[in-house]
Amino acid sequence: MTITFARRAGIVPAIAAAALFLASCGGSGTESTGGDGETTFVTGLASQPEMLVRSFTSDALTATVGLAVGEGLVRTTKDKEVVPALAESWDISDDGLSYTFHLRQGVTWHDGEPFTSADVLFSFQEVLPLSPTGAVLTSTIASVAAPDDATVVVTLKQPLAPLLLALGPQDFSIQPEHIYAGTDLLTNPNNRAPVGTGPFVFDSWSGDTITLTANEDYWDGAPAIGRLIYKVIPDSNSRANALVNGEIDYINKFDVDDTIVKALEGNDEITLQNGRVSATFMTMWLNQNEEPLNDPEVRKALYLALDRELMSKSADPEFTEPAAGSFPTGLWATDTGIDYLDEYGYDPDAAAALLDQAGYPEQGDGTRFSVRLRYVATQPYTQALAAIITDNWRAIGVETEPTQDEATVNSDALFAQQDFGTNLLSLDTRPDPEFGIGRVYKCNPDKLAFNNPTGYCNEELDALFAEAARTQDQAARAEIYAQAQEIIAADLPALTLLQADQPDAIRSSFGGIDEFLSGALSGDLTWSALEP
Query: Shortest approach of other proteins to residue 41 CB, angstroms?
Result: 10
Q: Distance between CA 482 and CA 498 in Å, rounded?
A: 20
Which residues have CB under 8 Å from 340's CB, separation 6+?
303, 323, 324, 325, 489, 496
Instruction: Calculate the CA dihedral of residues 473, 474, 475, 476 and round it to 10 degrees.
Output: 50
Q: Distance between CA 325 and CA 496 in Å, rounded?
A: 7
Sheet bearing 504-507, strands edge to edge: 200-206, 209-214, 227-232, 40-45, 250-251, 504-507, 270-273
- In the complex with other proteins, the residue whose CB is nearer, 307 or 432, is 432
The interface region with other proteins, picked from 241-249, 327-335, 457-465, 508-516 by CB under 8 A, is 241-249
- In the complex with other proteins, the residue whose CB is nearer, 142 or 416, is 416
Question: Using CB under 8 A, which of 89, 183, 209, 474 touches other proteins?
Answer: 209
Provide the residue type at 532 as one letter: P
CA dist list (Å): 54 to 70, 344, 524:
9, 41, 11
Site residues for other proteins, 17-36, by CB under 8 A, read 19-21, 23-24, 26-28, 30-33
* DSSP per-residue string spanning 261-272: HHHHTT-TTEEE
Query: Shortest approach of other proteins to residue 185 CB, angstroms?
Result: 11
Q: Distance between CA 397 and CA 369 in Å, rounded?
A: 7
Q: Distance between CA 264 and CA 236 in Å, rounded?
A: 12
Question: Using CB under 8 A, which of 37, 40, 78, 113 touches other proteins?
Answer: 40
Provide the residue type at 138 as one letter: T
Q: Is the peptide bond before 292 cis (omega within 30 degrees of 0)?
A: yes
CA dist list (Å): 515 to 199, 348, 349, 511:
14, 46, 49, 9
- In the complex with other proteins, the residue whose CB is nearer, 206 or 475, is 206
**Closest-CA residue to 398 (of 420, 374, 366):** 366
Question: Using CB under 8 A, which of 76, 191, 422, 496 touches other proteins?
Answer: 191
Query: Shortest approach of other proteins to residue 16 CB, angstroms?
Result: 7
- In the complex with other proteins, the residue whose CB is nearer, 1 or 475, is 1
The interface region with other proteins, picked from 74-82, 157-165, 235-243, 281-289 by CB under 8 A, is 235-243
- In the complex with other proteins, the residue whose CB is nearer, 448 or 476, is 448
- In the complex with other proteins, the residue whose CB is nearer, 207 or 364, is 207
- In the complex with other proteins, the residue whose CB is nearer, 234 or 361, is 234
Question: Using CB under 8 A, which of 89, 143, 183, 187 touches other proteins?
Answer: 187
- In the complex with other proteins, the residue whose CB is nearer, 148 or 446, is 446
**Closest-CA residue to 122 (of 173, 181, 186):** 181
Query: Shortest approach of other proteins to residue 47 CB, angstroms?
Result: 5
Assign 234 to helix, strand or coil. coil
CB of 532 closer than 8 Å to CB of 511? yes
Query: Shortest approach of other proteins to residue 342 CB, angstroms?
Result: 31
Query: What's the residue count for the chain?
Result: 532
Query: Shortest approach of other proteins to residue 49 CB, angstroms?
Result: 8
Element (H, E) at 229: strand 227-232
Question: Using CB under 8 A, which of 121, 244, 384, 466 touches other proteins?
Answer: 244
Burial of 106 per CB tally in 10 Å (0-12, 13-18, 19+): exposed
Site residues for other proteins, 389-418, by CB under 8 A, read 406-409, 411-413, 415-416
- In the complex with other proteins, the residue whose CB is nearer, 36 or 235, is 235
- In the complex with other proteins, the residue whose CB is nearer, 117 or 382, is 382
Which residues have CB under 8 Å from 50's CB, separation 6+?
57, 59, 61, 62
Q: Distance between CA 45 and CA 42 in Å, rounded?
A: 10
Question: Using CB under 8 A, which of 34, 207, 266, 364 touches other proteins?
Answer: 207
- In the complex with other proteins, the residue whose CB is nearer, 210 or 306, is 210
Site residues for other proteins, 431-490, by CB under 8 A, read 439, 446, 448-451
The answer to whether residue 377 forms part of the interface with other proteins (CB under 8 A) is no
Site residues for other proteins, 41-60, by CB under 8 A, read 42, 47-51, 57-60
The interface region with other proteins, picked from 89-97, 229-237, 494-502, 515-523 by CB under 8 A, is 229-237
Assign 391 to helix, strand or coil. helix
- In the complex with other proteins, the residue whose CB is nearer, 49 or 292, is 49
Q: Give how many residues touch other proteins by CB under 8 A.
A: 76
**Closest-CA residue to 286 (of 278, 297, 275, 294):** 294
The interface region with other proteins, picked from 236-244, 264-272, 317-325, 395-403 by CB under 8 A, is 236-244
Sheet bearing 494-500, strands edge to edge: 320-322, 494-500, 280-285, 422-428, 369-376, 398-405
Q: Distance between CA 149 and CA 315 in Å, rounded?
A: 53
Site residues for other proteins, 285-314, by CB under 8 A, read none
DSSP state of 503: P
Query: Shortest approach of other proteins to residue 76 CB, angstroms?
Result: 17
Query: Shortest approach of other proteins to residue 77 CB, angstroms?
Result: 22
- In the complex with other proteins, the residue whose CB is nearer, 145 or 416, is 416
Alpha-helical runs (H) found in 305-381: 308-315, 340-343, 348-357
The interface region with other proteins, picked from 8-16, 96-104, 340-348, 502-510 by CB under 8 A, is 8-16
**Per-residue interface string for the shown chain with other proteins, residues 106-135, x marking contact by CB under 8 A:** --------------------------xx-x
